Amino acid sequence: DWRTRGRAHIVRYVILKWTLCLLVGVLAGAIGFFNNLAIENIAGFKFLHTTDLVVANKYLMAFGVFACSNFVLLMFAVAITSCIAPAAAGSGIPEVRAYLNGVDAPDIFSLRAIVVKIFGCIAAVSSSLHVGKAGPMVHVGACVAALFGHERLHKNHLTGKWLKYLKNDRDRRDLVTCGAGAGVAAAFRSPVGGVLFALESLSSWWRSSLLWRAFFTTAAVAIVLRALIEVCVSGKCGLFGKGGLIMFDVTSTTIAYQLLDLPVVILLGVMGGILGSFYNFLMQKVLGIYNQINEKGICYRLLLAGTISIFTSCLLFGLPWLASCQPCPDATQQGCQNLGKTRNLRNFQCSPNYYNDLASLFFSTNDDSIRNLYSSGTHELFDQFSIILSFVTSYFLGIISYGVVAPAGLFVPVILTGAIYGRFVGMLMGSRSSLDHGLYAVLGSASFLGGTMRMTVSVCVIILELTNNLLLLPLVMLVLLISKTVADLFNGNIYDLILKLKGLPYLDGHAEPYMRQLTVSDVVMGPLQFFNGVEKVGNIVHVLKTTGHHGFPVIDETPFCSTPVLFGLVLRSHLLVLLKKKDFLPTPILTSVDISKEYSSDDFAKISTGKSDRIEDIILSEEQMEMYIDLHPFTNTSPFTVVDTMSLAKALILFREVGLRHLLIVPKTSCRSPVVGILTRHDFMPEHILGLHPFLKKSRWK
């Protein structure tokens, strides 16, 4: 712990922490901007080219160009994800959440993951696949942060002298939290929303000082984004550049709502809840099927992705033909395309001065579609039939697209789908409601977000920051609360479902009811492996090879003590360091010299690359195997312990709140062995407990 070091060290440590936050913020902001820029340009160029062909009546060729470019882009994304970093598939939010809960999923924070995530995301989103770019940005932000704690990076590029202060788990976790918040901030240009997102749905432990640091990071993101957008306003960024820090500005709308509008808003909330939970349910099923396909190999993955890409292309290109042409609302001589930044209508196959409403939704980037839907004073913009068709398409495309092995987020499809049905409800209300249809779309987005993601405060703030209209706040809050309540009746939030599918042992903060009926000794299984204070090398090697445990109790027995006494807990990683050093004792005696002096704290620092030593790599001679190690200097002498009669629920609170990895169980009476077991994260998993005590399943509700 740094607090024991001298003043100079502390100052250096604090400066380092803040500098890293600043760096993470700046990098996340820059990457987020680059992502947006690339997507807008690639997708924009694609749409521009295709539209030109359509206008020139070369429909088949237009479809060919559209479908081919989509196919190639998605194949590229799937290929690099599968070959280089499979951990980069999906949104990455569940993995970041699991990491912050204490579960190290393999390879999620590698340099390869970040590169694949950035370019895969650009390709996947540009390919008109119905996925978002926000989720991957969260992962990228977290990745950037984690890389600064990365062992290899230190050795090669940066002065290890400074960064070695950040080698403990807590600092790394804090930095990753800030990074994830920065990712959200960069994706939605929403600094406060980013902090709250990290707090509400990612972090498992939270301190007030961390709040401040996360806030600093997202402030850096906001400033970087603003500066970069400033550069783009002059038009140097190709097709990108419209829209400032507020993505979907609805400030222009005056908000006037009466008591009569409340029932409709409540209806929207209920709809969002039902549709959202059903979305989660379908998503879970589809992901289960996809996982089976994807596991079969890269060919199957490509095949699956290709099928979805072609299907999507057909839908997006085909459906607009069903819509009728409509005259441009305030037709100027420029046609419909340049109606200001809030509306971006496509004339598709229609003649100039007419537009195709379905094409305006489907045949443009998701951001433009959302902008169209949020635009105010445009009650006649969409046809009812078009809205229903687009809702169904968007809803189901969202479900089937996420499972592709490519970086893909859930946020944007959910926002879009919600906006569509929100607008539909607004159209049904017609003139009976005083609310603008654009606001209905915003509320619809909020309700669908609440129904799927089940976040409240962060989604509320993100929506406010996206739309820059604080007067909407009470309605957004109401809609979110209702939709979350309704959806919670049916199933869990989408990230929990994905985590469960991935089999990551996420530890919830609250105890299940049946845990109160069990004591800690009920869930501990199998023979306990422990070491003596002075242990034979061969014995250690044998135990390490035959078990996968990460911590072992050390017990002092005769001749050092009259009765067996628990001395402490020794970690597997520390034992491996000791074995590698090969500094053994010929006889089982206590060492008189302080042997721990021979090791620096760096030897025991956790290696974060995931490439830790394995017991198989350490080769010892027969002679060495017969020697001894004095474990006393390397043992944590005050591990957290609980008595064996403590209820599992109470132990869980200790385990979770203090953030433990091992919890020793000591007997109430000292008659037996001084330790009766060791609790780890897996012992608290419902699957494990219910497997041991199947009768509890029935009595779940007592």
Minimum Å gap between C-beta 148 and a copy of itself is 20
Footprint of a copy of itself on residues 20-49 (CB under 8 A)? none
The strand pairing partners of 679, in sequence order, are 663
Residue 207 binding a copy of itself, by CB under 8 A: yes
**Residue number with CB closer to a copy of itself (203 or 312):** 203
Give, as ranges, the residues between 80 and 139 that touch a copy of itself (CB under 8 A).
none
Q: Which is nearer to a copy of itself, 114 or 219 (CB)?
A: 219
Q: Could you give the CA distance from residue 348 to residue 356 in angstroms, rounded to a whole number?
A: 6
From 270, 640, 661, 688, residue interacting with a copy of itself (rule: CB under 8 A): 640
Provide, rounded to whole angstroms, the least separation between the CB of residue 439 and a copy of itself. 15
Nearest to 216 by CA among 456, 455, 20, 31: 20
The residues, any chain, with a CB within 8 Å of residue 494's CB and separated by 6 or more, are: 279, 280, 283, 410, 452, 453, 454
- Note whether 489 and 644 are within 8 A (CB): no
Q: State which of positions 552-591 bind a copy of itself (CB under 8 A).
A: 561, 563, 565-566
Given candidates 228, 274, 473, 690, which one binds a copy of itself under the rule CB under 8 A? 473
471 binds a copy of itself (CB under 8 A): yes
Contact between 336 and a copy of itself per CB under 8 A: no
Element (H, E) at 373: helix 366-374
427 near a copy of itself, judged by CB under 8 A: no
Of 107-115, 582-590, 626-634, 653-661: span binding a copy of itself (CB under 8 A): 653-661
Reported as half-sphere exposure (CB side, CA atoms, 13 A), residue 517 has a value of: 13
Task: State the minimum distance, in angstroms, from the CB of residue 642 to a copy of itself.
Answer: 7
The residue range among 336-344, 368-376, 581-589, 637-645 that interacts with a copy of itself, by the rule CB under 8 A, is 637-645
Closest distance to a copy of itself from the beta carbon of 204 (Å): 9
**Cis-peptide, bond into residue 106, ω within 30° of zero:** no
701 is an interface residue for a copy of itself by CB under 8 A = yes
| Among candidate residues 463, 515, 138, the one with its CA nearest the CA of residue 272 | 463
Which of the residues 211 through 270 are near a copy of itself (CB under 8 A)?
211-212, 215-216, 218-219, 222-223, 226, 245-246, 251
Q: Report the run of H or E that residue 467 belongs to, with start and end.
A: helix 457-467
Site size toward a copy of itself (CB under 8 A) is 77
Closest CA to 101 of 468, 445, 620, 499: 499
Residue 654 is a binding residue for a copy of itself (CB under 8 A) = yes
Min dist CB 551 to a copy of itself, Å, is: 16
Shortest distance, position 673 Cβ to a copy of itself, whole Å: 12
Select the residue interacting with a copy of itself from 586, 669, 694, 698 (CB under 8 A). Answer: 669
Closest CA to 639 of 568, 564, 574, 543: 568
User: 409: alpha, beta or left, given left = phi > 0 and alpha = psi -120 to 50?
Assistant: beta
How far apart CA 392 and CA 399 sit, in angstroms, is 11
| Nearer to a copy of itself (CB atom), residue 420 or residue 642 | 642
| Contact status: 327 vs a copy of itself (CB under 8 A) | no
Q: Does 3 bind a copy of itself (CB under 8 A)?
A: yes
Question: Are the C-beta atoms of residues 622 and 475 closer than 8 Å to each other?
Answer: no
Q: Compare residues 292 and 563 and give the one whose CB is closer to a copy of itself.
A: 563
Angle at 4 (CA atoms; ends 3, 10), nearest 5 degrees: 50
Instruction: Report residue 316 as tokens.
Output: 């997006």
User: Residue 98 CB, nearest distance to a copy of itself (Å)?
Assistant: 15
Give CA–CA dist 626/537, Å, rounded.
Answer: 6
Question: Among 364-372, 570-578, 618-626, 667-675, which window interacts with a copy of itself (CB under 8 A)?
Answer: 667-675
Report the site for a copy of itself in 445-464 (rule: CB under 8 A): 456-457, 460-461, 464
Which residue reads 């939605």 in tokens? 188
Q: What mask of x and - would describe binding to a copy of itself in positions 481 to 520, judged by CB under 8 A?
A: x--x------------------------xxxxx--xx---
In order of 1, 16, 428, 595, the CA distances from 4 in angstroms are 6, 17, 66, 22
Per-residue contact flags (x/-) with a copy of itself for residues 152 to 191, judged by CB under 8 A = ---------------------------------------x
CB distance 39 to 122 below 8 Å: yes
CA angle 533, 538, 541 (to 5 degrees): 90
**649 forms part of the interface with a copy of itself (CB under 8 A):** yes
Residue written as token pair 């390490």: 544
* Residue appearing with tokens 């479809």: 63
For a copy of itself, give the closer residue by CB, 56 or 233. 233
